[in-house]
Structure 1
Amino acid sequence: MTYLPQLKILATYMRGGTSKGVFFKLTDLPKAAQVAGQARDNLLLRVIGSPDPYGKQTDGMGGATSSTSKTVILSKSTKAEHDVDYLFGQVSIDKPFVDWSGNCGNLTAAVGSFAISNGLVDAKRLPENGVAVVRIWQANIEKTIIAHVPMTNGEVQETGDFELDGVTFPAAEVQVDFVSPVDASEAMFPTGNIVDDIEVAGIGRFKATMINAGIPTIFLNAKDIGYQGTELQEAINSDEEALAKFECIRAHGAVKMGLINSIEEASGRQHTPKVAFVSHAQSYVTSSNKHVNAEQIDLHVRALSMGKLHHAMMGTAAVAIGTAAAIPGTLVNIAAGGGERNSVVFGHPSGTLKVGAQTLQLDDKWQVNKVSMSRSARVLMEGWVRIPQDKL
Structure 2
Amino acid sequence: MTHAPQIKIPATYMRGGTSKGVFFRLQDLPAVAQVPGAARDALLLRVIGSPDPYGKQIDGMGGATSSTSKAVILSRATAPGHDVDYLFAQVSIDKAFVDWSGNCGNLSAAVGAFAIGAGLVDPARIPDSGIATVRIWQANIGKTIIAHVPITNREVQETGDFELDGVTFPAAEVQLEFLDPAAEEEGAGGSMFPTGQLVDDLDVPGIGTLKATMINAGIPTIFVDAAAIGYKGTELQEAINTDARALEMFETIRAHGAVRMGLIKHVDEAAKRQHTPKVAFVAAPSDYVSSSGKRVEAKDIDLHVRALSMGKLHHAMMGTAAVAIGTAAAIPGTLVNLAAGGGERTAVRFGHPSGTLRVGAQATQENGEWHVKKAIMSRSARVLMEGWVRVPSDSF
Measured against the shorter chain, the TM-score band is over 0.9
Normalized against structure 2, the TM-score is what?
0.98
Rounded to whole Å, the distance in 1 between the matches of 2:204 and 2:287 is 32
| Structure 2 counterparts to residues 141-156 of structure 1, below 5 A | 141-156=141-156
Rounded to whole Å, the distance in 2 between the matches of 1:251 and 1:186 is 20
Q: Does 1:271 align with 2:268?
A: no
Structure 1, unpaired ranges of 5+:
none
Equivalent residue for 1:299, pick from 280, 303, 322: 303
Match of 2:215 in 1: 211
Rounded to whole Å, the distance in 2 between the matches of 1:330 and 1:229 is 17
Q: Does 1:178 align with 2:178?
A: yes
| Structure 2 counterparts to residues 337-348 of structure 1, below 5 A | 337-348=341-352
Partners of 2:183 and 2:216 within 8 A in 1 = no
Amino acid at match of 1:233: Q
Partners of 2:141 and 2:183 within 8 A in 1 = no
| Structure 2 counterparts to residues 213-362 of structure 1, below 5 A | 213-362=217-366
Amino acid at match of 1:144: T
Rounded to whole Å, the distance in 2 between the matches of 1:354 and 1:210 is 21
Match of 1:38 in 2: 38
Structure 1, residues 11-70: CA drift from partner, whole Å, max 9, x if none?
000000000000000000000000000000000000000000000000000000000000
Partners of 2:305 and 2:352 within 8 A in 1 = yes
Residue 205 of structure 1, CA deviation: 1.1
Match of 2:62 in 1: 62
Rounded to whole Å, the distance in 1 between the matches of 2:236 and 2:181 is 29
Rounded to whole Å, the distance in 1 between the matches of 2:113 and 2:183 is 27
Partners of 2:213 and 2:335 within 8 A in 1 = yes
Amino acid at match of 2:111: V
Residue 4 of structure 1, CA deviation: 2.2
Match of 1:51 in 2: 51
Residue 186 of structure 1, CA deviation: 2.2
Structure 2, unpaired ranges of 5+:
none
| Structure 2 counterparts to residues 117-156 of structure 1, below 5 A | 117-156=117-156
Equivalent residue for 1:389, pick from 366, 380, 393: 393
Residue 306 of structure 1, CA deviation: 0.1
Rounded to whole Å, the distance in 2 between the matches of 1:244 and 1:168 is 31
Rounded to whole Å, the distance in 1 between the matches of 2:344 and 2:151 is 36
Amino acid at match of 2:159: T
Residue 182 of structure 1, CA deviation: 1.9
Q: CA RMSD in A?
A: 0.8
3-state SS of 2:394 partner: helix
Rounded to whole Å, the distance in 2 between the matches of 1:13 and 1:148 is 21
Q: Percent identity?
A: 75
Rounded to whole Å, the distance in 2 between the matches of 1:18 and 1:383 is 22
Residue 2 of structure 1, CA deviation: 1.1
3-state SS of 2:232 partner: coil
3-state SS of 1:367 partner: strand
Structure 1, residues 344-391: CA drift from partner, whole Å, max 9, x if none?
000000000000001100011000001000000000000010000111
Residue 183 of structure 1, CA deviation: 7.1
Q: 1:166 to 1:149 in 2, by over 3 A?
A: same
Normalized against structure 1, the TM-score is what?
0.99
Match of 1:26 in 2: 26
